[in-house]
Copies of this chain bind each other. A is one copy, B any other.
Amino acid sequence: MSRIDGRTPDQLRPVSIERGWSKHAEGSVLVSFGDTRVLCTASVTEGVPRWRKGSGEGWVTAEYAMLPRATNTRGDRESVRGKIGGRTHEISRLIGRSLRAVIDYKALGENTIVLDCDVLQADGGTRTAAITGAYVALADAVEWARAKKLIKASRQPLTGTVAAVSVGIIDGVPMLDLAYEEDVRAETDMNVVCTGDGRFVEVQGTAEGEPFARDELNALLDLAVAGCGSLAGMQRAALGAED
């Protein structure tokens, strides 16, 4: 069983996590999962949205977007169309929830961190690459805020790490980290977000063709947990590189 690019079914594409890509942002990462490239920046501001003021708690949110020619055929800009599409909304919300799962709002204090995940080139798995990269940018932004005393040095707002990967069934075979061509052919497509200790933050499985059975679901979850574990290691390596 050979994949388009020669990988084994349980193999990730080459992953790179390049920190400090942008000079302005408090945290910034250019993450690649194969040919998928996402620029993740973390912006820290003092204060929180109105509905949270006076709570002593912080906030973390995310926005995802694609450059118009990140894909094989050019897509219209959402700014030009004047509205954000459902897919963009859905992924932005997923990224935000995933990162908030490892945030201690009290320790963050009344600070807001916005993660912008802009897809520069798309080849499948943009949302999982975005989550994986955004976590690293978030970690850098948190350190920046602690260094700047926005967050007390004695507090650690991060309660763990988070990474994500896609899995799917193609011609009956469960596979890890689908490239675009594989994604198109998949009968079932699942995105799984795990913490570094192997528990689940999000599980989103969709039958694109035939409904899937319980044992297929189990096989996909096995693959995804292993894949997220590998990614967690790469995140640790990337963050350790500078220390």
Contact = CB atoms under 8 A, between A and B. Distances in A.
B205 A217 contact: no
Interface stretch (A8-16, A116-124, A142-150): A116-124
Interface stretch (A51-59, A170-178, A194-202, A232-240): A194-202
Contacts of A22: 69-70, 120-121
Contacts of A71: 24
Given A90-B93, A118-B67, A211 B200 contact: yes
Nearest to A114: B74
Q: Main SS of the interface on chain A? A: mixed
Contacts of A122: 24
Nearest to A190: B203
Given A78-B79, A80-B84, A84-B79, A101 B207 contact: yes
B92 A77 contact: no
The contact size tier of chain A is 35 or more
A63 interface: yes
A41 B25 CA distance: 24
A6 interface: no
Contacts of A160: 211
Interface string A65-108: 10111111110011110111111111011000100010000000
**Closest 3 pairs (CB-CB, A-B):** A86-B89, A199-B211, A78-B79
